Each structure stands twice: as structure tokens, then as C-alpha cells.
Amino acid sequence: MPQEKVDLVATWHEAGIFSDKERAALAWAELLTRLADRSVPDEAYEAVRRHFSEDEVIALSVAVANINAWNRLGAAFRFAPPIPKKAAESKAA
């Protein structure tokens, strides 16, 4: 995936550079990430299924669940990813 798309994932709704299939995957990931007070509507499943097979939706859902688990562990234990030496040096300058 081009870096420009990776950089715009946080603003995927507004970015206007994601395909319909990518937007379906991002919407599904966002829905599964924010399940605290709701269930998954049938319409949301039908929307993601327009672009992905059942096996692909399962794989995407497992990937989202794993990323969410790691994010929760990272937040709980105050994990900070290592900063590459060059980036740390340029910030100090």
C-alpha cells in the first residue's frame, strides 16, 4: 500500500483516496473496534460481504481482534514503540 494511504487511514472517511473495497474493510474494522455498547447490524455485515467472501471477512475480523487485543495490552502496560535512533537524534537537534 502506498505510504500516502497509510498516512491517511486515521482520516479515511474524508480522505477520498480509498477504493470502495478498502472503505468497506476500514468501516468493518472501525465497527468491530467500537463494539462496547452495540452489536453488529445486519446491514454492516451485508456491506462488507459485498466486497469480501465469508472467509475473507473472517480473516479480516480475526486481524482486527488481534490488533485490538495488542492495543489494549499496550495501553494497559504503557508500551511505547521504540523510536529509531535517527528520529530521536533529529528531534533532539
Q: How many domains, the chain?
A: 1
Q: Which CATH number fits the domain that encloses residue 38?
A: 1.20.1290.10
Flag whether pLDDT at 91 surpasses 80.
no
* 80-90 residue pLDDT tens: 888 888 765 66
pLDDT digits (tens, 9 = 90+) for 11-53: 999 999 999 999 999 999 999 999 888 899 999 999 999 999 9
Write out the residue range of the structural domain in which residue 22 sits.
Answer: 3-92
Contacts of 47 (CB under 8 A, 6+ apart): 24, 27, 28
pLDDT score of 93 more than 70: no
Q: What helix, strand, coil percent values describe the chain, rounded to 5? A: 70, 0, 30
Type of residue numbered 22: E
State the Cα–Cα distance between residues 63 and 29, nearest whole angstrom: 9
pLDDT of residue 81: 83
